[in-house]
Amino acid sequence: MMNNRTKRFLKYMEDEGIKKAVILKKENINYFLGKYFMSFSVLVFEEEPCLYVGKLDKDYAEELFDFLEIREFKSWEGIFKGCDGVEGELPISYLKYIDKDYKIVSEKIKELRMIKDKEEIKLIKKAAEISDKAINYVSNNLEDIKNLNEYELVAEIEYIMKKHGSIKPAFDSIVVSGKKTSFPHALPTKDKIKDILLIDIGAVYNGYCSDITRTFLLKDDEEMRKIYNLVYEAKELAEEHLKEGVSAKEIDNIVRAFFGDYEKLFIHSLGHGVGLEVHEEPRLSNKLKEDIILKEGMVVTIEPGLYLKNRFGVRIEDLYLIKKNGFERLSKAEIPIY
């Protein structure tokens, strides 16, 4: 049975006069399949969708996807014969197989994927619950954690997520302390945890990601507290404006204005969409070339942060489902108050 996502895409193809679209990007394939499948596969839309897999995965794919035709992949020439719809992500080395003019279909898929349906929201909520468990473990064991190094703590965190059903971390977990918190994307090392601890993690549940950040102050430091509370208030301010109809540029600018003199320490954008990818549309950034208006069903992060070079950084991030008159916060782990 064809799902609604597939039906919408086939309707789009019909409207655009596209006869055969070839989908290679894993997350796009998983979107249409409605299941997590990471083995080599190619999804071809003609009148009906058909999934091509390697000989070794055919039996498995048939067991997983009984609603879809499964064929054994033979050659790229066969896949692309008559193809007139491809993704913008198609590697240029495949162009040699394409024998006619083509349209880019991936902008439409991005648009479809931006508004999450009920099934997707359920899976993102589940992923968020899982990463909440790991954050709660940290909150509830802060005294013991001060005796660990970053490697040891990240192992515990990922173990908790895995035990609760996360296929893998949504990205390389950021579990860093001390000066390294001043780098938004630093990776854990053997350094002992001290002074300040920043944890930015995500789970993956049946292909869908979560994303959450908490910062813990491990010593009494007035400046740290001041920066922390600025970030905390910035997130609260963003939440006041977070609902259908707000512009992605505007909400980023509201937070920048609030930071005032500190704005130069806010060196990344306010947030991003989350779904099958941990960074996807819409981006909440004042640097967008084309602005985007938030709509019900979008799932985004809000993650203000301030980074003091060679000293420390603070970021607090939550995950939200946009609603007509506000939002539902999907990540529910407690936020420390200092």
Half-sphere exposure of 39 (CA within 13 A, CB side): 14
CA dist., res. 10 & res. 337, Å (int): 50
Question: Hey, which residues between 261 and 300 contact a second copy (CB under 8 A)?
Answer: 267-268
Count of beta carbons in the 10 Å neighbourhood of residue 91: 8
Q: Which stretch binds a second copy (CB under 8 A): 130-138, 148-156, 248-256, 319-327?
A: 148-156
Interaction residues for a second copy, span 223-242 (CB under 8 A): none
Q: Report which residue type is found at 269.
A: S
* DSSP label of 287: T
Residue 152 found at the interface with a second copy (CB under 8 A): yes
Identity of residue 111:
E
- Residue 186, interface with a second copy (CB under 8 A)? yes
Q: How far is the CB of 63 from a second copy (least distance, A)?
A: 8
Q: How many CB atoms lie within 10 A of CB 258?
A: 17
- The answer to whether the bond into 91 is cis (omega within 30° of 0) is no
Residues with Cβ within 8 Å of residue 1, at least 6 apart in sequence: 67
Q: Is 162 a binder of a second copy (CB under 8 A)? A: yes
- Interface with a second copy includes 187 (CB under 8 A)? yes
Q: How many CB atoms lie within 10 A of CB 251?
A: 25
56 forms part of the interface with a second copy (CB under 8 A): yes
88 binds a second copy (CB under 8 A): yes
Size of the site for a second copy (CB under 8 A): 44
User: Which lies closer to a second copy via its Cβ, residue 89 or residue 119?
Assistant: 89
Residue ranges binding a second copy (CB under 8 A) = 36, 38-39, 54-57, 59-60, 63, 86, 88-93, 95, 104, 106, 151-152, 154-155, 158-159, 162-163, 165, 167-169, 171-172, 182-187, 267-268, 307, 309
